[in-house]
Amino acid sequence: MEPTVSIDKEALESEEAAEPPLLTCFGSSRSRAFLQQFYPDVTLAEWNDWRWQLNNSITDVQALSRFITLSPTECRSPDIHPRNLPLRITPYYASLLDTSDPDHSLRRSVIPTSAEYVFSPDESRDPLCEDDHSPVPGLVHRYPDRVLFLVTGDCSTFCRYCTRSRMVGKRDNASNNPSRWSAAIDYIQAHTEVRDVLISGGDPLTLADDVLESIIQRLRRIRHVEMIRIGTKIPVTLPQRITASLVLMLKKYHPLWMSIHVTHPEELTPECETACARLADAGIPLGSQTVMLKGVNDNIASLKALMHGLIRFRIKPYYLFQCDPIPGSSHFRTPVSKGLEMIQGLRGHTSGYAVPTFAIDAPGGGGKIPLLPEYVIGRDENGLILRNYEGKIFCYPDKG
Ligand SMILES: *Cc1c(COP(=O)(O)O)cnc(C)c1O
208-246 pLDDT, tens digit per residue, is 999 999 999 999 999 999 999 999 999 999 999 999 999
Respond yes or no: is residue 162 known to be catalytic.
yes
80: phi then psi, degrees, rounded to nearest 5: -105, 35
Q: Where in the chain is the domain with CATH 3.20.20.70?
A: 131-371
Pick the CATH number of 131-371 from 3.30.830.10, 3.20.20.70, 3.30.70.2740, 2.40.110.10: 3.20.20.70
Digit-coded pLDDT (tens) for 125-176:
999 999 899 999 999 999 999 999 999 999 999 999 999 988 888 877 778 8
Respond yes or no: is residue 117 known to be catalytic.
no
Instruction: Exactly one of 88, 146, 233, 278 is catalytic; name it.
Output: 146
Respond yes or no: is residue 164 known to be catalytic.
yes
Respond yes or no: is residue 223 known to be catalytic.
no
- Pocket probe for ligand 1: among 136, 187, 198, 258, the residue whose CB has the most ligand atoms within 8 Å is 198
Cβ–Cβ < 8 Å for 67, 37: no
Average pLDDT in the chain: 91
How many other β-carbons are positioned within 10 Å of the β-carbon of residue 12?
A: 11
Instruction: Exactly one of 88, 241, 324, 333 is catalytic; name it.
Output: 324
Digit-coded pLDDT (tens) for 372-396:
999 999 999 999 999 999 999 999 9
pLDDT of amino acid 167: 86
Using the atom order of ligand 1, give the atom closest to the CA of residue 130.
13
Respond yes or no: is residue 25 known to be catalytic.
no
Going from the Cα of 358 to the center of ligand 1, the distance in angstroms, rounded, reads 14
Using the atom order of ligand 1, give the atom closest to the CA of residue 319.
9
Instruction: Exactly one of 83, 92, 93, 155 is catalytic; name it.
Output: 155
Cβ–Cβ < 8 Å for 303, 297: yes
Respond yes or no: is residue 146 known to be catalytic.
yes
pLDDT of amino acid 83: 61
Instruction: Exactly one of 88, 160, 164, 233 is catalytic; name it.
Output: 164
Respond yes or no: is residue 155 known to be catalytic.
yes
pLDDT at 17 exceeding the cut of 70? no
Respond yes or no: is residue 159 known to be catalytic.
yes
Q: What is the mean pLDDT of residues 266-281?
A: 97
Protein residues with CB under 6 Å of any ligand 1 atom: 140, 142-143, 146, 148, 198, 368
Going from the Cα of 313 to the center of ligand 1, the distance in angstroms, rounded, reads 23
The residue contributing the CA closest to ligand 1 atom 1 is: 368
pLDDT at 23 exceeding the cut of 90? no
The residue contributing the CA closest to ligand 1 atom 14 is: 148
pLDDT of amino acid 381: 92
Give the least confident one: 91-100, 103-112, 117-126, 319-328.
117-126
pLDDT of amino acid 165: 87
Going from the Cα of 106 to the center of ligand 1, the distance in angstroms, rounded, reads 26
